Amino acid sequence: MNKTIITSITLILTVCVLCIAGCTTAPAGTDSLDVVLADTPVPEISYNDTPVQYHEVNGVKLGYREFGVDNNEPLLMLIGFGKTMDHWNTTFIGILSENYHVYVYDHRGMGESTDADGQFTIAQLADDAAGLITALGYDSMNTYGVSMGSSVSLELLCDHPEKVRKAVLSSATYSANIPETKILHVLLLENAEGENVNTGVRKEAVANLEWDGCYDNLSGIANDVMLITGTADIITPQSVAVDIAGQINGSWLVRFKKIPHAGSSYAPEEYGRITTTFLEINESPV
């Protein structure tokens, strides 16, 4: 039976008072974990002051920025649908950069990254992520994916598991074509078929709609995985994260009360601290 850890988060100080992030009660027999927000300044980062660098990967040029300490604990950030690397919340990235060498990048056809002719796929985007990890000089990295970035991360876990140390999947789904994600499906159709839609956004929409998903492969994922979901997410509802967590043996599941889709933009400190906690814990048997 899969051991899904439903993490109960106790957030102190004003966070509890304002109820911006909440908890799911851990059922009997599961582990709980308290995350305390450190009363320390968050490192400031600036996209404008951080130069874009480039690597040739799979026939395209991927633009990226890097932040944080110069050590061998890298963290690759996979952004969501229609967004570029500068859309990551700076407080969130600042927290992660306290202990990790953080890389943010643009998917092919978006922002600073170039594209090739023809339609790309989610599997191609996963190949790009694997290729970028290699190009940056690493055998593997920790990864954090949000929304479409989580879909790319799931494909990466299935196609290139050796490239992933630990994976965080935020606002995840295993398909955009299931009943639970009907709002997402409509949004993607509008961007795939609408007029005056950016070419890169249109291709991302098509790639998501054509992705068959990877539900049948979830049980084969052996990497350490944490899913983060918000109870107010109507784009990729929490029930989908629960389903995915139930399929990945030993995965973590963290739910934030009243947080909508892509919650790191709404509760960056809480998302940053729980991500750091997950990445730092040694889950090897004693």
Backbone angles phi, psi at 65, to 5 degrees: -125, 155
3-class secondary structure, 23: coil
User: Which residue ranges form the domains of the chain, and what is each CATH number?
Assistant: 42-280 (3.40.50.1820)
DSSP letter for each residue of 77-139: EE--TT--GGGS-HHHHHHHTTTSEEEEEPPTTSTT----SS---HHHHHHHHHHHHHHTT-S
What percent of the chain shows pLDDT beyond 90? 80
In terms of Cα–Cα distance, which of 85, 41, 84, 81 is closest to 67?
Answer: 85
Separation of alpha carbons 230 and 236, rounded Å:
9
What's residue 117's pLDDT?
A: 94
pTM, full prediction? 0.88
Type of residue found at 226: M
Beta-strand pair 53-57/60-68: antiparallel
Question: Which of helix, strand or coil describes residue 174?
Answer: coil
d(CA 175, CA 184): 10
Residue 283, pLDDT score = 73
Model confidence at 39, pLDDT cuts 50, 70, 90, reads low
Q: pLDDT tens digit string along 107-153?
A: 999 999 999 999 999 999 999 999 999 999 999 999 999 999 999 99
In the predicted structure, residue 203 carries a pLDDT above the cut 50: yes
Backbone torsions φ then ψ of 104, nearest 5 degrees: -110, 145
